[in-house]
Amino acid sequence: MPTVLILGASRGIGYELASQYRQAQWRVIATVRDDDAKKRLTSLGCEVLQVDLAQASSCSGLAWQLDGEKLDLAIYCAGVMDRASAPQPPTQEAFDHVMHTNVMGAMQALPQILPMVEAARGTLVCLSSVMGSLQETGRGNAWLYRVSKAALNMVVRCLQAEQTRVTVLAMHPGWVQTDMGGAAATLTVTDSVSSIRQSLERIRARADSKDRGAFFNHDGASLSW
């Protein structure tokens, strides 16, 4: 039974990933922040850790909590949005909130779990966004969020550059009907996650070195940085 770690699984895409991987008989280790989310994930059959990924002190316990694990797949899902447009300066508070969750959490958590992914020769995925693509940027809306996802993309590139035994990817889930994506989004969370899972299965099966450090759409199409 393969094992997946989902970082930030309380709702939205992370929760649906946990649910679909459980249905597919995977062992799922999920992180959440609060007790209610822990109950929801436990009732799906997940093993649940409580971690606030925006707090370095909370992240720092991951390594010992997961000591000895072999992770076939790990997915960093936690993310927050800020909708202010350029050139409106972010407040210090907004900047810290978005950058701590979307970037610092990944830079704190992923180094701790890399050896566990390496032990399984597994795959590490960051849920990024096409809004973090420098090349695709035609508007300055949600610029703090865009900056954070561009930085997360660099986290993926740097981790991959130092790794030969793990595939590290950035993946855009589409515009998805979640609290973040809103009701007008084009994809249901079920369809987005099913597409993400199918693409990850293809990527894992072909074990092609060209996929290392790449940026994919949920359907497996390449995205430009």
Ligand X SMILES: NC(=O)c1ccc[n+]([C@@H]2O[C@H](COP(=O)([O-])OP(=O)(O)OC[C@H]3O[C@@H](n4cnc5c(N)ncnc54)[C@H](OP(=O)(O)O)[C@@H]3O)[C@@H](O)[C@H]2O)c1
**CB closer to ligand X, 78 vs 214:** 78
Tell me: does residue 10 bind ligand X (CB under 6 A).
Answer: yes
The edge-to-edge listing of strands for the beta sheet with 215-217 is 47-50, 27-32, 3-7, 73-76, 123-127, 167-172, 215-217
- For the chain, the residue count is 225
Segment interacting with ligand X, rule: CB under 6 A, options 11-19, 115-123, 155-163, 209-217: 11-19
Q: Site map for ligand X, 185-224, x if CB under 6 A?
A: x---------------------------------------
Report which DSSP code applies to 216: E
6 beta partners:
30, 75
CA distance 171 to 40: 25
From the number of C-beta atoms within 10 Å of its C-beta (0-12, 13-18, 19+), residue 19 rates as buried
Binding residue for ligand X, selected from 29, 78, 110, 200, defined by CB under 6 A: 78
Read off φ and ψ for residue 85, nearest 5 degrees: -95, 155
CB of 115 to ligand X, least distance (A): 21
CB of 21 to ligand X, least distance (A): 15
CA distance 165 to 209: 10
Tell me: does residue 54 bind ligand X (CB under 6 A).
Answer: yes
- Please count the residues of this chain forming the interface with ligand X, following the rule CB under 6 A: 27
Site for ligand X, residues 79 to 98, rule: CB under 6 A: 79-80
CA distance 174 to 187: 7
Segment interacting with ligand X, rule: CB under 6 A, options 47-55, 86-94, 115-123, 195-203: 47-55
Tell me: does residue 180 bind ligand X (CB under 6 A).
Answer: yes
What is the binding site for ligand X (CB under 6 A)? 8, 10-14, 33, 37, 52-54, 77-80, 101, 127, 129, 172-173, 175-176, 178-181, 185
